Amino acid sequence: MNKFVYMFNEADKSMKNLLGGKGANLAEMLKLGLPIPQGFTVSTDACTKYYDDGEKFTEDVLAQIEDAITQLEVLEGKKFGDNSKPLLVSVRSGARVSMPGMMDTVLNLGLNDVVVEGFGKATNNMRFAYDSYRRFIQMFADVVKGLPKQQFERVLDEIKESKGYDNDLDMSADDLKEVVEAFKALYVKHEGSSFPQKAREQLLAAVEAVFGSWNNERAVIYRRMNDIPGRWGTAVNVQAMVYGNMGDTSGTGVAFTRNPSTGEPGIYGEYLINAQGEDVVAGIRTPLPIAHLEQDMPEAYSEFMRIANVLEDHYKDMQDMEFTIEDKKLYFLQTRNGKRTAQAALRIATDLVAEGKITKEKALMMVEPKQLDQLLHPMFDSKALSEAPVSGKGLPASPGAAAGQVYFTASTAVEAKKRGERVVLVRLETSPEDIEGMDAAQGILTARGGMTSHAAVVARGMGTCCVCGCNDIKIAADEKSFTIAGKTIKEGEFISLDGTAGNIYLEDVKTVDASISGEFELFMSWADEVRTLKVRTNADSPKDVINAISFGAEGVGLCRTEHMFFEETRISKMRQMIVAKTVEERVEALEALVPYQKADFKGMYEALEERPMTVRLLDPPLHEFLPHSKADIKALAIEMGITYEELQGTVDSLHEFNPMLGHRGCRLAVTYPEIARMQARSIIEAAIEVKKEKGFNIIPEIMIPLAGEVKELKYVKDIVIETVDAIIAASGIEINYSVGTMIEIPRAALTADLIAAEAEFFSFGTNDLTQMTFGFSRDDAGSFLDDYYAKGILESDPFAKLDQTGVGQLVQMACEKGRAARPGIKLGICGEHGGDPSSIDFCHRIGLNYVSCSPFRVPIARLAAAQSAIKNK
């Protein structure tokens, strides 16, 4: 029989895939002899099976859960659903990788109308028992049945108000009994049935809810953002309860073994006396720093410090721990490798190497490549900042600078982002429902919550600037405004946040690009030592090249020459070239473009010194370049000395129904060979001049785009070679060059052996290759892909993350055919996927020579390439 349920004492940390991170680590801690409440884990396989079986538990899974409860009863000396010595449990999700806030937790499960009395007697605290029961009803209703918790909070507030209490702690056992009755009534109203009284029924419903939450919208979005496959499923942990809310000798907290914002060594965290876990995370009361525990409970504190060190040494990484003190006795409820900012990630990784605890390779594997993005995020311009008055202060939860317009809900934030606005999301506190709004925001400001609140943890993970727990602001969400320092800020008005200092400014403070320093260079040098894939950049100007080299680019993998003509002064010549009716007219327009083109190439060659550069011949989808507005057409007609009507007629005649599949790429040069001639000349003349002037030995790689048939490639290639060879011969300067092609049409991949006979290199243009393999328009897919994610048809955007199953197969096949026909052929990728870590891993595995990506993604690609080299050793 397959095993689907494991007691904590049957497992260890190696079983993470099966038991999820939380379950495997609880088992490991137990093995280490640490104080862990006993429990069991329903495996991720059980979750997958649950979905495979049509969202049902099968008999074998049910029997194993039942058996595990019996074992837990024995271990704890208590009985589930019994009112003399009741066993109460927590039910928590735990996927392979932690997904903070994505899944839900139910505490105090096992209570009912009768058990609560027994529990009150057993703990000698009726107030506590009823408080636990009302929390359980609320959480169960929220997590399992989807009844909004705010409705329960409103009921609680009404009862408190009717009795004239300010604080929950003022409520007596009888008051809480009243709350329980009101909560149950609310439950009946929504569910049409009474609150379940059978402990086993409660448990199965909760386990089912955790499985269900694996596919809730927030989880699906989080997985898409973090490349987590839907097939993995989540495990469920059922653990005996311990209580941090049993009075002033109890408490609960969250702590890290190093500072998750900066990476500084030393315990960092906070706790609340007389509170249950969710109180700390929800940020309803403001917690105390962990150092304060030494005064409150010295023994628990020193035990906590000892165990925290044991855990960090054991896992050899910064730990994020949850603990509860029940009447002075310390329990650990969780440990995991903590989420951290990019800055902290680099500091921790390099410190652990310096402390001799880990190898450089392990350090490289500890940092998420995509996180490096954070180091490249904006900071405030120091002069602008010094002139901006600070209007309020909160906790510096996630570093960086943000300036934008204020929105109060996730949906309005998302809408504003779509309109192109910079957004600051302002919330009382955040919860997982806000995830899309947080993702849309440049910065997040909350009125409540500590450094480990949802807002803080999630924003740090996303690398989004966040100031939280700001008591200075009063939010009036209904009025869409908040007040701060006597001023009212309305929706749509600008504010700025300093996530490093926690400051709030009531103006649009100028930001500047980030500069990299500290451990970055050292860390990246380790990445460069191990990776075998080269990393180039996609760049179309000397400025981009200089920027990319500073991020470690080793060459240019794609210079899109049509991008060189977007500028105001150049576009009219480009347009004249496109609408020219005769070869003479076209040549004239092209001649005017030569100086621009040559100057840019020279600037790029000089910036690259002798690093390689692939220049692609013109590939303009015509709709991007033709004039559309009457005014633009008129202006161009005047410049060309023709009538408006004549030009309008030409523009109309060039209209294409499907420009992406139209007269672009090498097709343009087939019709107008003079375009290829002009470009080949600019590329080579620039190389000759730079060689003469600077002595750099430039080896241009001339790339012919969008070939699907070897003969069209050969046609254009012959023109290029004829032009280039004549110029070189006349100059008397030796220039080596190569001519290759992009593989971006499925037919090119299918006939890559024939193509390779003519092409000295391939560069995979996976943007077009994805477009043409899926038959999804690059420009339109965004309008329907969301439905594909929501319906589980696709898990991620194939234009961002390479579809290895389909498109990848074409890439791999083209590599094999290309190598067979031309051994040693140079292979690279220059589609957007060249900067995506999972796609880079694929590129490494199929043996490409390089990836090419936008300048800001170069560090990500360097690290992703290093990780692939380590993983695939």
Select from ligand PEP, Mg ion, none the partner in contact with residue 831, using the beta carbon and a kind-dependent cut-off of 5 to 8 Å. ligand PEP
The nearer residue to Mg ion, 339 or 616, going by C-beta atoms, is 616
Cβ-in-10-Å burial (0-12, 13-18, 19+) of 873 comes to exposed
Q: Where does this chain touch ligand PEP (CB under 6 A) — which range of 118-126, 128-136, 589-597, 766-774?
A: 766-774
Residues in the interface with Mg ion (CB under 5 A) total 3
CB of 767 to Mg ion, least distance (A): 5
390-422 CB burial, b ≥16 within 10 A, e <16: ebbbbbbbbbbbbbbbbbbbbebbbebbeeebb
The nearer residue to ligand PEP, 240 or 553, going by C-beta atoms, is 553
Q: Where does this chain touch ligand PEP (CB under 6 A) — which range of 65-73, 482-490, 763-771, 836-844?
A: 763-771
CB of 712 to Mg ion, least distance (A): 15
Q: Which of 155, 558, 580, 827 binds ligand PEP (CB under 6 A)?
A: 558
| DSSP conformation letters of 592-638 | HHHHHHHHHHHHHHHHHTTS-EEEEPP---HHHHS--SHHHHHHHHH
The nearer residue to ligand PEP, 176 or 755, going by C-beta atoms, is 755
758 is an interface residue for ligand PEP by CB under 6 A:
no
**C-alpha–C-alpha distance, residues 12 and 18, integer Å:** 11
Query: What single DSSP character describes residue 547?
Result: H
Write the interaction track for Mg ion spanning residues 696-735; mark x where CB under 5 A is met and - where it is not: ----------------------------------------
In angstroms and rounded to an integer, the radius of gyration of the C-alpha atoms of the chain is 31
Write the interaction track for ligand PEP spanning residues 503-542; mark x where CB under 6 A is met and - where it is not: ----------------------------------------
Q: Residue 428, Cβ neighbours under 10 Å: how many?
A: 16
The nearer residue to Mg ion, 744 or 841, going by C-beta atoms, is 744
803 is an interface residue for Mg ion by CB under 5 A:
no
201 three-class SS: helix
766 is an interface residue for ligand PEP by CB under 6 A:
yes
CB of 537 to ligand PEP, least distance (A): 12
Q: Residue 74, Cβ neighbours under 10 Å: how many?
A: 11
The nearer residue to ligand PEP, 139 or 743, going by C-beta atoms, is 743
Q: Which of 45, 351, 768, 836 binds ligand PEP (CB under 6 A)?
A: 768
Of 607, 544, 567, residue with least CA distance to 853? 544
The nearer residue to Mg ion, 233 or 831, going by C-beta atoms, is 831
Q: Closest-CB residue for Mg ion?
A: 768
**Which residues face 405 on adjacent strands?**
423, 494
Under rule CB under 5 A, which residues in 284-343 are in contact with Mg ion? none
**C-alpha–C-alpha distance, residues 431 and 504, integer Å:** 22
830 is an interface residue for ligand PEP by CB under 6 A:
yes
Under rule CB under 6 A, which residues in 154-213 are in contact with ligand PEP? none
CB of 856 to ligand PEP, least distance (A): 17
Joined tokens for residue 500: 């490093």
Q: Residue 648, Cβ neighbours under 10 Å: how many?
A: 15
CB of 774 to ligand PEP, least distance (A): 13
CB of 558 to ligand PEP, least distance (A): 6
- The residues assigned a catalytic role are 454, 830
744 is an interface residue for ligand PEP by CB under 6 A:
yes
**C-alpha–C-alpha distance, residues 332 and 323, integer Å:** 4
CA angle 343, 519, 801 (to 5 degrees): 60
**C-alpha–C-alpha distance, residues 524 and 587, integer Å:** 47
**C-alpha–C-alpha distance, residues 25 and 34, integer Å:** 11
CB of 712 to ligand PEP, least distance (A): 17
Query: What single DSSP character describes residue 465?
Result: E
CB of 204 to ligand PEP, least distance (A): 50
Query: Which residues contact residue 39 at a Cβ distance below 8 angstroms, ignoring those fewer than 6 apart?
Result: 7, 8, 26, 72, 89, 237, 238, 239, 240
The nearer residue to ligand PEP, 624 or 646, going by C-beta atoms, is 624
Query: Which residues contact residue 283 at a Cβ distance below 8 angstroms, ignoring those fewer than 6 apart?
Result: 429, 446, 448, 449, 450, 453, 454, 455, 468, 469
Select from ligand PEP, Mg ion, none the partner in contact with residue 766, using the beta carbon and a kind-dependent cut-off of 5 to 8 Å. ligand PEP
Question: From residue 65, how far is each of 46, 104, 142, 245, 304 by CA, in Å?
Answer: 11, 19, 23, 28, 32
- Distance in Å from the first CA to the final CA of the chain: 36
Q: Where does this chain touch ligand PEP (CB under 6 A) — which range of 214-222, 241-249, 764-772, 805-813?
A: 764-772
614 is an interface residue for ligand PEP by CB under 6 A:
no
Q: Where does this chain touch ligand PEP (CB under 6 A) — which range of 168-176, 194-202, 693-701, 760-768?
A: 760-768
CB 94 within 8 A of CB 20: yes
Q: Residue 306, Cβ neighbours under 10 Å: how many?
A: 12
Under rule CB under 6 A, which residues in 615-644 are in contact with ligand PEP? 619
Q: What phi, psi does 487 have (nearest 5°)?
A: -110, 150
831 is an interface residue for ligand PEP by CB under 6 A:
yes
Element (H or E) spanning 588, and its range?
helix 583-608
Select from Mg ion, ligand PEP, none the partner in contact with residue 429, using the beta carbon and a kind-dependent cut-off of 5 to 8 Å. none
**C-alpha–C-alpha distance, residues 798 and 807, integer Å:** 9
The nearer residue to Mg ion, 45 or 619, going by C-beta atoms, is 619
The nearer residue to Mg ion, 450 or 621, going by C-beta atoms, is 621
The nearer residue to ligand PEP, 329 or 560, going by C-beta atoms, is 560
CB of 664 to Mg ion, least distance (A): 9
**C-alpha–C-alpha distance, residues 562 and 133, integer Å:** 67
765 is an interface residue for ligand PEP by CB under 6 A:
yes
CB of 370 to ligand PEP, least distance (A): 20
Element (H or E) spanning 323, and its range?
strand 319-326
Q: Residue 834, Cβ neighbours under 10 Å: how many?
A: 31
- Can you say whether residue 485 is alpha, beta or left, with left for phi > 0 and alpha for psi between -120 and 50 degrees? left
Q: Where does this chain touch ligand PEP (CB under 6 A) — which range of 82-90, 591-599, 761-769, 817-825?
A: 761-769
767 is an interface residue for ligand PEP by CB under 6 A:
yes
The nearer residue to Mg ion, 456 or 748, going by C-beta atoms, is 748
Select from Mg ion, ligand PEP, none the partner in contact with residue 560, using the beta carbon and a kind-dependent cut-off of 5 to 8 Å. ligand PEP
CB 255 within 8 A of CB 321: yes
855 is an interface residue for ligand PEP by CB under 6 A:
no
CB of 830 to ligand PEP, least distance (A): 5
Under rule CB under 5 A, which residues in 740-769 are in contact with Mg ion? 744, 765, 768
Joined tokens for residue 328: 């002075």
User: Sign of the CA dihedral 23, 24, 25, 29?
Assistant: positive
741 is an interface residue for ligand PEP by CB under 6 A:
no
Select from ligand PEP, Mg ion, none the partner in contact with residue 558, using the beta carbon and a kind-dependent cut-off of 5 to 8 Å. ligand PEP
560 is an interface residue for ligand PEP by CB under 6 A:
yes
CB 534 within 8 A of CB 528: no
114 three-class SS: coil
797 is an interface residue for ligand PEP by CB under 6 A:
no
Residues in the interface with ligand PEP (CB under 6 A) total 10
803 is an interface residue for ligand PEP by CB under 6 A:
no
400 is an interface residue for ligand PEP by CB under 6 A:
no
CB 436 within 8 A of CB 224: no
> Tokens 């010595």, residue?
85
Of 817, 848, 819, 815, residue with least CA distance to 833? 848
The nearer residue to Mg ion, 69 or 703, going by C-beta atoms, is 703
Query: Rule CB under 6 A: which residues touch ligand PEP?
Result: 558, 560, 619, 744, 765-768, 830-831
Query: Rule CB under 5 A: which residues touch Mg ion?
Result: 744, 765, 768
